Chain A
Amino acid sequence: VTNPAPAPAVPALITINVDGKDHQVDPNQQLVDALNAIGTYTPTFCYHQDLKVAGNCRICLVETEGPRGFGLGISCHLRPAPGMKVRTPASSDVVKKARKGVMEFLLVNHPLDCPICDKAGECTLQEHYMNSGRHESRLDDDVGKNYKGGADHRFTDSKGDDRGGKSIDLGPTVVLDQERCILCDRCVRFMRDVAGTEQLQLAGRGDHAYITTFPGEKLDHEYDLNVTDICPVGALTGKHFRFQQRVWLLKKVESIAPDDSLGANLTIEYNNGKIWRIMPRRNPGVNKSWISNRTRLEYEKLGANRLIDGRINGAPVSVSAALVAAGKAIGAAKRIALVASGHLTTEDNAAILALADGLGGKAEVFGGSWLAVGKADGIARSGDPVANRKALNLLNIPDNLDTLAERASEFDTLVVFGNDLWAANAAQAAKLETIRERIVLSSWIDASVAKATIAIGIRCWAEVRGTMVNSQGRIQVLNACPVVASDQLEPAWQVACRLASYGGKPIPWIGESDAWKAAVARVPVFTGVTYRSIGPMGLLIQQAPAPAAAAKV
């Protein structure tokens, strides 16, 4: 087994000349990316690494040498070529003047409503103005702004002045402020080229052009909230985040989508003890820059309907009381069925295996899920709702819930770790109700908790540190957001350790890295992998052929 996968071959670099200095750059990228990579700040509005080049904002203009001398060109449409000579504002007054003009034109019809704009603080227009604009306005009051917007949505302010299209309800998730739009057409390209439906369109011409949907149609797509991320200004905003928080107050934690086995990379953003939003995190090999609305709105579940205590026969008790009861039950049990879960991290599942080992012959580990596996959408979902299914395979945990249902009579104790069996397949799960003691570890008050004799609350995916292996075989790290539903709650691996000290052989782990080391000991392809070596983009492992469920996206 070769492990980890060899890094891709270092691309052959070429030399380009920027502002009179030679630089080594990778030719397999747009010039604008090469310029930014060598530290020559080059702003963009319409250019996006994961969208087709449109070249309409013109802010990335540079001069390059052609047959007729230096001429203006947009660096987002050019590719670095050997010996290319590039002039940026640092050395060319022509470029400086052109870019300043673009900035002035962008701002001339843009409303000055940054104080009430949700995008302020992460607005590309604002950032580039502060970085490279900062010129005085030449706009005369008599000339006035042309507030953009379609005829159907004009907004008149308290002074009776026309302010353009404001707060237009585009669909179930997105609101459009047409007067803020700088017509970069990123959203149009996203919906057309990535989402595959042309729900957003540019209407009109000239400075009266505006973004809109077809008459009577709505913007309604599983990925439509991504247009609010790629919008360089505050024109498109998500209903879930409008007027909630100033973005510069938000603190960020990098994590992984918990609801799909592609494991879209995301950032959890929190402040004041609350998670306010989930944003996609760019990973070219996994989800590019996109996440589905379902993943994005996962944060709404983090504070709702949580199991923040324990239950004994349905009656609320403290977590520790429930733990003691569960430990005693395990100690007294003759045959225990442990159900591992692909919704939990690799560390959690390693702890379940360690618990089973400690319990010796009386415990048997089952795994898998009864949830239906859908189809990959080609954007940021593989269709398999069991996020960590691959890790279960690697840990040799069988996919045999049906066997468990068949053999339910053999067991007197069932311990389910974060796997809502009753919600996934109530008919099959009903067979498990013959087992006398049913211990359920869950983050939410779900169908399984209702059927449990003992229920123990555990931390959910956003509150733990750990790893998951996605459908491509990429190990990715989840980080713990400090916002937790209750201080009583512990990660599933820690609960497993506590149960082990009651019924089996104590597990002497004090952190998730201990659990990870245990997983490494069980899985040969994990050898040598540490949290640090995984990195923010994940680490692709080489391994056995993928099972059918983990479809390639």
Chain B
Amino acid sequence: MPQPTHWKGKELPKVISGLFEVENGHQLEVARAHGAYATIGPKLFDRSQFEVITEVMDSGLRGRGGAGFPTGMKWSFVPRGGKPVYLVVNADEGEPGTFKDRLCMTRDPHLLLEGCICTGYALGVRTAYIYVRGEMLPQIRRLNQALKEAYAAGLLGENIGGSGYSLDIYIHRGAGAYICGEETGLINSLEGFKGQPRLKPPFPAISGAFASPTVVNNVETIMAVPKILMNGAKWYRQWGSDKSPGSKLFTISGDIGRPGVYEVPLGISYLDFFELAGGLQGDLLGCIPGGSSAPVLTAEETAKATMDYESLASLKSMLGSGAVTPFNTTRDPVRILETIARFYAHESCGQCTPCREGTGYVDRIVKKLAAGKGRDGDVELIKDLADRYEWTTICAFAPGAAWPVQSFVTKFRSHFLGYIDKNPEHAAGRDLVAHRPGAFW
């Protein structure tokens, strides 16, 4: 079904999704006919690296992978003149509910490659890697095809377009771990180590892949760069707010009329977005606003929220990867949390104690509770355990695993208590695993 082009009389942005509905848009010829690689020429090479970075900084582009860190600022941290700088594109899209990068790579791989060239030029990168999630085989094939075409057309390799700038891009296939989407975990995996996040500092911008300065950016972020360079920062700022400018791809699934990927300007309300995506099915109970890590919103909070970084921060949630999952009153928050808890227990890399043991512990308690064996105090216990692994680990996985737990048991407390009441012995004393100091001696 074609995407809506207008909403409430305004044209919807097509910054990233411009070629999504063009037939064979992934082929170089077709893409070029629609303006692909227009920046690879004077638009890019006549500017200094500093000017490119400033342009991106002025556009206010923020990282689209989840954390929302200003892209231009990230680039400005990279030291020059020493070790080689690496660009790593994070295409290890794994956040439950998110499937935008997959579509990007399927429909418009050339825009990604063009973005790599622009970014690589700005950062003085000689070698870039695109780390693609292992399961995305069709996308990897398509990227490789695009890469072949780009090399054949002289858009990659030595001396691109006679500019004197050279760039090689390698596609690296991941091995299927959610944690490899974390930038240092990704770098470890890229280097051939186990995909476990690294201690910071040093940050990747100083010492990342192969102990060299490394910039890790999301697919969508990189794809926005050529458009910004082509049309200017001001053009990009026509959408969104001052702190959240531009447009973003949102993926919506759940109780919605037309689940899918939509590019909308930042700052529209969630309720508007639901209408754009075919309307809600049933009565809204709650909504996960930005991927499963983001704290869930109740129906009232969803009605207040707009799709930008500040609004969700004020509701103590986050825009994350832009995976919106509304669910209606026929759904059971306990079952939803059971699924989410199982996911995080399964995907914890096993490095830091609180996350490794805590996510599994919470998973087992929620599972027990959902099986009707809950006891009084379980809800408080779950919340307390999540509090204890929230900010005590190396990477942001543990907070991401704690937020849904904390928000679900707080905001849908009555549902959890209802499950506990199903256990006829819920008020009985806790049957604790024997703990008897001195029992043996």
Footprint of B on A, CB under 8 Å? Answer: 45, 53-59, 61, 71-72, 77, 97-98, 100-102, 104-106, 108-109, 112, 114-115, 136-146, 182-183, 185, 202, 204-209
Docked-complex contact B392 and A206, CB < 8 angstroms: no
Which residues from chain A contact B194 at a C-beta distance below 8 Å? 202
CA distance A59 to B358 in the complex (A): 14
Among B356, B373, B389, B434, contact of A206 (Cβ-Cβ < 8 Å) = B356
B418 CB to closest chain A CB, in angstroms? 18
Of listed A115, A144, A207, residue having the most chain B CB within 10 A: A207
In the complex, whether B405 has a CB less than 8 A from a CB of chain A is: no
Which residues from chain B contact A208 at a C-beta distance below 8 Å? 350, 360
Docked-complex contact A98 and B353, CB < 8 angstroms: no
In the complex, whether B125 has a CB less than 8 A from a CB of chain A is: no
Docked-complex contact B348 and A205, CB < 8 angstroms: yes
Which residues from chain A contact B440 at a C-beta distance below 8 Å? 114-115
In the complex, whether B359 has a CB less than 8 A from a CB of chain A is: yes
Which residues from chain A contact B375 at a C-beta distance below 8 Å? 140, 142
Docked-complex contact B431 and A142, CB < 8 angstroms: yes
Given contacts A112-B433, A202-B194, 5 further A-B contacts (CB under 8 A): A101-B388, A136-B435, A142-B375, A207-B357, A208-B360
In the complex, whether B102 has a CB less than 8 A from a CB of chain A is: no
Which residues from chain A contact B394 at a C-beta distance below 8 Å? 55-56
Docked-complex contact A105 and B357, CB < 8 angstroms: yes
**Size bin of chain B's contact surface:** 35 or more
Docked-complex contact B360 and A146, CB < 8 angstroms: yes
Docked-complex contact A138 and B381, CB < 8 angstroms: yes
Docked-complex contact B365 and A143, CB < 8 angstroms: yes
- Bits for B338-366, please: 1 = Cβ < 8 Å to A, else 0: 00000001111111111011111100110
Which residues from chain B contact A146 at a C-beta distance below 8 Å? 360, 364
Known: A55-B394, A57-B353, A207-B357. A101 touches B389 (CB 8 A): yes
Q: Which residues of chain B from 171 to 209 have a CB within 8 Å of any chain A CB? A: 177, 179, 194, 199
CA distance A204 to B351 in the complex (A): 11
Of listed B349, B358, B361, residue having the most chain A CB within 10 A: B361
Docked-complex contact B388 and A98, CB < 8 angstroms: yes
In the complex, whether B12 has a CB less than 8 A from a CB of chain A is: no
B307 CB to closest chain A CB, in angstroms? 26
In the complex, whether B432 has a CB less than 8 A from a CB of chain A is: yes
Which residues from chain B contact A108 at a C-beta distance below 8 Å? 357, 361
In the complex, whether B412 has a CB less than 8 A from a CB of chain A is: no
In the complex, whether B391 has a CB less than 8 A from a CB of chain A is: yes
- Chain B residue nearest to A141 (CB atoms) is B431
Among A54, A55, A109, A205, contact of B349 (Cβ-Cβ < 8 Å) = A205
CA distance A62 to B358 in the complex (A): 20
Which residues from chain B contact A183 at a C-beta distance below 8 Å? 350-351, 353, 356
- Chain A residue nearest to B200 (CB atoms) is A77
In the complex, whether B430 has a CB less than 8 A from a CB of chain A is: yes
26 A-B residue pairings within 8 Å (CB atoms):
A53-B199, A55-B352, A57-B352, A71-B391, A101-B385, A101-B387, A101-B389, A102-B354, A102-B388, A105-B357, A105-B388, A106-B353, A106-B357, A136-B435, A138-B430, A139-B433, A140-B430, A140-B432, A140-B433, A143-B364, A143-B365, A202-B350, A207-B348, A207-B357, A207-B360, A209-B350
Which residues from chain B contact A58 at a C-beta distance below 8 Å? 352-354, 392-393
A205 CB to closest chain B CB, in angstroms? 5
Docked-complex contact A109 and B357, CB < 8 angstroms: yes
Docked-complex contact A209 and B356, CB < 8 angstroms: yes
Docked-complex contact A105 and B358, CB < 8 angstroms: yes
- Chain B residue nearest to A54 (CB atoms) is B199
A291 CB to closest chain B CB, in angstroms? 29
Docked-complex contact A143 and B368, CB < 8 angstroms: yes
Secondary structure of the A contact surface, majority rule:
loop
B411 CB to closest chain A CB, in angstroms? 23
B380 CB to closest chain A CB, in angstroms? 10
Which residues from chain A contact B346 at a C-beta distance below 8 Å? 205-206
B402 CB to closest chain A CB, in angstroms? 11
Which residues from chain B contact A138 at a C-beta distance below 8 Å? 381, 430, 432
Docked-complex contact B352 and A56, CB < 8 angstroms: yes
Which residues from chain A contact B356 at a C-beta distance below 8 Å? 105, 183, 206-207, 209
Which residues from chain B contact A206 at a C-beta distance below 8 Å? 345-350, 356, 359-360
Known: A108-B361, A115-B440, A202-B194. A207 touches B388 (CB 8 A): no
Which residues from chain A contact B349 at a C-beta distance below 8 Å? 205-206
B73 CB to closest chain A CB, in angstroms? 15
Known: A105-B361, A109-B360. A141 touches B432 (CB 8 A): yes
Among A104, A112, A142, A143, contact of B434 (Cβ-Cβ < 8 Å) = A112
- Chain B residue nearest to A210 (CB atoms) is B350
CA distance A138 to B359 in the complex (A): 15
Docked-complex contact B353 and A140, CB < 8 angstroms: no
CA distance A58 to B349 in the complex (A): 15
Q: Nearest 4 pairs between A and B by C-beta?
A: A101-B388, A209-B350, A207-B360, A105-B357
Which residues from chain A contact B357 at a C-beta distance below 8 Å? 105-106, 108-109, 207
Docked-complex contact A137 and B368, CB < 8 angstroms: no
Docked-complex contact A142 and B350, CB < 8 angstroms: no
- Chain B residue nearest to A140 (CB atoms) is B430
Docked-complex contact B373 and A56, CB < 8 angstroms: no
CA distance A104 to B356 in the complex (A): 12
Docked-complex contact A141 and B177, CB < 8 angstroms: no
Among B353, B364, B378, contact of A102 (Cβ-Cβ < 8 Å) = B353
Docked-complex contact A205 and B350, CB < 8 angstroms: yes
CA distance A54 to B193 in the complex (A): 14
B310 CB to closest chain A CB, in angstroms? 18
A460 CB to closest chain B CB, in angstroms? 37
CA distance A61 to B361 in the complex (A): 21
Of listed A97, A98, A136, residue having the most chain B CB within 10 A: A98
Which residues from chain A contact B388 at a C-beta distance below 8 Å? 97-98, 100-102, 104-105
- Chain B residue nearest to A206 (CB atoms) is B348
Docked-complex contact B353 and A142, CB < 8 angstroms: no
- Chain A residue nearest to B195 (CB atoms) is A205
A398 CB to closest chain B CB, in angstroms? 51
Docked-complex contact B345 and A101, CB < 8 angstroms: no
CA distance A272 to B176 in the complex (A): 56
A189 CB to closest chain B CB, in angstroms? 12
Docked-complex contact B350 and A204, CB < 8 angstroms: yes
CA distance A136 to B429 in the complex (A): 14
Which residues from chain B contact A54 at a C-beta distance below 8 Å? 199, 351
Of listed A54, A109, A138, residue having the most chain B CB within 10 A: A138
Docked-complex contact B177 and A205, CB < 8 angstroms: yes
- Chain A residue nearest to B362 (CB atoms) is A143
Among A59, A105, A137, contact of B389 (Cβ-Cβ < 8 Å) = A105
- Chain B residue nearest to A135 (CB atoms) is B435
A202 CB to closest chain B CB, in angstroms? 7
Docked-complex contact B199 and A59, CB < 8 angstroms: no
Which residues from chain A contact B361 at a C-beta distance below 8 Å? 105, 108-109, 143, 207
Which residues from chain A contact B433 at a C-beta distance below 8 Å? 112, 137, 139-141, 144-145
- Chain A residue nearest to B345 (CB atoms) is A206
Known: A72-B391, A102-B353. A137 touches B432 (CB 8 A): yes
Which residues from chain B contact A56 at a C-beta distance below 8 Å? 351-353, 394
A187 CB to closest chain B CB, in angstroms? 15
